[in-house]
Structures are given as structure tokens and as C-alpha cells.
């Protein structure tokens, strides 16, 4: 018995622009990721890693091919439905943290709850629980300017997991962090995966990719190799 993959790409192609200036960023990618996996996507700059993440996160659509999320072809879904998926079922972590400068730590984590229609004490409790998972509940009322880069990324992770998404996507999450801080952030991904989260992490660093159980290497928009980590 082979359960439906959480993620399935079939001959996924992405072309930016058209005519003379058309650029093929993904050329026929086939990929399956099952629930509970921790997958790293590697490849040099320009190989299509972020493009792939945008597709997986339903932030962009394929030019041709199929993306099935839990067996459902996302091209068939309405914009409203996709917005709901982005809010509730997918958590994003970006290299640049993407926090909102005027909100405190707790309020950052409450943003997705607001969009999900969860307010008040319930939202507060959920946000505090997510902050506890990244070890930052004691800094809930700090301004973003009063915490370190590593802490900012941990807040961004709390924000990404507060609605317990099916899929956690992280695009170069340690790209702006020093080695020690990177390891702290990666330890959180390790823990979340051990607790059952499905994680797809983009990196061009070998020691970061070593945290994943499977490493997919992209080259010029194609899967060049796939390796299982020991
Ligand atoms: P990576 O994340 O691996 O560095 P990207 O997926 O960001 O690679 O980009 C892959 C290729 O697609 C690059 O050559 C980039 O210049 C091109 N590209 C990315 N986004 C766009 C866009 N919006 N319009 C045109 N070209 C793009
Ligand atoms: Mg990129």
C-alpha cells in the first residue's frame, strides 16, 4: 500500500516571461514528498530552488505539468481556496524573516491567526504555545528591534507553525545567520520533524542539508540527483 503523497509534482515546468525573453526556471520536475519527511533542496544560485518553493507554497502556478497537494490538483482550486491553503496548511520561513516592524513578538505570531478568524484569548494562547515551541515565550512582549537575528527567525518559525500546517517550507532560513545561531534554528526544525512535521528546506550549504533525511539537488531547473542521508 502506497499512501497518497503529501506533495506530488509531475513534469512540473515553470517559464518566466514569454517570447524572446522567456526563461525556463523548472524543466520537467518529478517529485514526491510524503508526510513526515524532512527534505532539503540544494543547488547553486539560479537553479530554481525558490521557484520550486513558490510552487509548493501555492504562491505561484506552473506553466505546465501538475502539482497535487494531498492528491488534489491545485490548478483546479479557486483563489479563495488557495488563500485558505496558504494560511492554514502551509507555513513559510524566509531568509529575511519577513517580520512586521511595528508588532511585538506575540503579535507577529498572531498575524496568521487573525487571517484564520481566530482572535482574543484563544489566539493569544495559540501564539504563546507556538513561541514556547521555539523557546521564546519569555520574550513575547519584545519589539522586533530588541531581539537578535536568530530570535527573529525563531519568531518567524513560530508564526509559520502556529496553525499546525501540513507542510513547513523554509527558503534559506539560515542564510542570514552565523553558524552557532544557524544550528539553534536547525535544531528547531529537527525537533518539529521528530514531532511529525513535514519540512522542505532550501539551502546551498552542505551542513544545513545534512539535517534533512533526503537531499534533492537541482541543476538548471531539473532534479540532478537525490540522496538519502545516513
Ligand atoms: P534559486 O532560488 O535556486 O537561486 P530561482 O528559483 O530564484 O533560483 O531562480 C531560477 C531562475 O529563474 C533564475 O535564473 C532567475 O533569474 C529566474 N527567475 C526567478 N524569478 C523570476 C521572475 N519573476 N522573472 C523572470 N525570471 C525569474
Ligand atoms: Mg532562491
Residue 2 is predicted with a pLDDT of: 65
Weakly modelled stretches of the chain, pLDDT under 50: none
Residue nearest to atom 26 of ligand 1 (CA): 16
Question: What is the C-alpha to C-alpha distance for residues 128 and 141, in angstroms, rounded to an integer?
Answer: 11
Question: What is the C-alpha to C-alpha distance for residues 135 and 138, in angstroms, rounded to an integer?
Answer: 8
User: 143, 172, 141, 137: which is closest to 158 by C-alpha?
Assistant: 137
Residue 230 is predicted with a pLDDT of: 85
User: 161, 173, 149, 182: which is closest to 49 by C-alpha?
Assistant: 173
Instruction: Report whether 217 contacts 205 (CB < 8 A).
Output: no
Check pocket membership of 46 for ligand 1, CB cut-off 6 A: yes
**Cα 143 to ligand 1 centre (Å):** 33
Give per-residue pLDDT as tens, 78-119. 999 999 999 999 999 999 999 999 999 999 999 999 999 999
**Cα 192 to ligand 1 centre (Å):** 29
Probe ligand 1: pick from 12, 48, 223, max atoms within 8 Å of CB?
A: 48
Residue 1 is predicted with a pLDDT of: 54
Whole-model pTM over 0.75: yes
Amino acid at each position: 500500500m502506497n499512501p497518497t503523497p503529501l506533495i506530488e509534482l509531475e513534469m512540473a515546468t515553470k517559464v518566466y516571461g514569454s517570447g524572446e525573453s522567456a526563461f525556463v526556471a523548472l524543466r520537467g520536475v518529478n517529485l514526491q514528498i510524503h508526510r513526515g519527511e524532512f527534505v532539503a533542496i540544494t543547488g547553486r544560485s539560479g537553479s530554481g530552488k525558490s521557484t520550486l518553493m513558490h510552487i509548493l507554497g501555492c504562491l505561484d502556478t506552473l506553466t505546465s505539468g501538475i502539482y497535487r497537494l494531498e492528491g488534489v490538483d491545485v490548478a483546479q482550486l479557486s483563489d479563495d481556496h488557495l488563500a485558505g491553503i496558504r494560511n492554514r496548511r502551509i507555513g513559510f520561513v524566509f531568509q529575511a524573516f519577513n517580520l512586521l516592524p511595528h508588532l511585538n513578538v506575540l503579535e507577529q505570531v498572531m498575524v496568521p491567526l487573525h487571517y484564520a478568524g481566530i482572535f482574543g484569548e484563544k489566539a493569544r494562547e495559540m501564539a504563546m504555545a507556538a513561541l514556547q515551541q521555539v523557546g521564546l515565550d519569555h520574550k513575547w512582549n519584545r519589539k522586533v528591534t530588541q531581539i537578535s537575528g536568530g530570535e527573529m527567525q525563531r519568531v518567524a518559525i513560530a508564526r509559520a507553525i502556529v496553525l499546525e500546517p501540513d507542510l513547513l517550507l523554509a527558503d534559506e532560513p539560515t542564510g542570514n545567520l552565523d553558524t552557532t545561531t544557524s544550528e539553534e534554528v536547525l535544531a528547531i526544525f529537527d525537533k518539529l520533524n521528530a514531532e511529525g512535521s513535514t519540512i522542505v528546506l532550501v539551502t546551498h550549504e552542505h551542513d544545513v542539508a545534512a539535517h534533512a533525511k533526503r537531499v534533492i539537488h537541482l541543476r538548471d531547473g531539473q532534479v540532478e540527483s537525490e540522496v538519502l542521508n545516513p
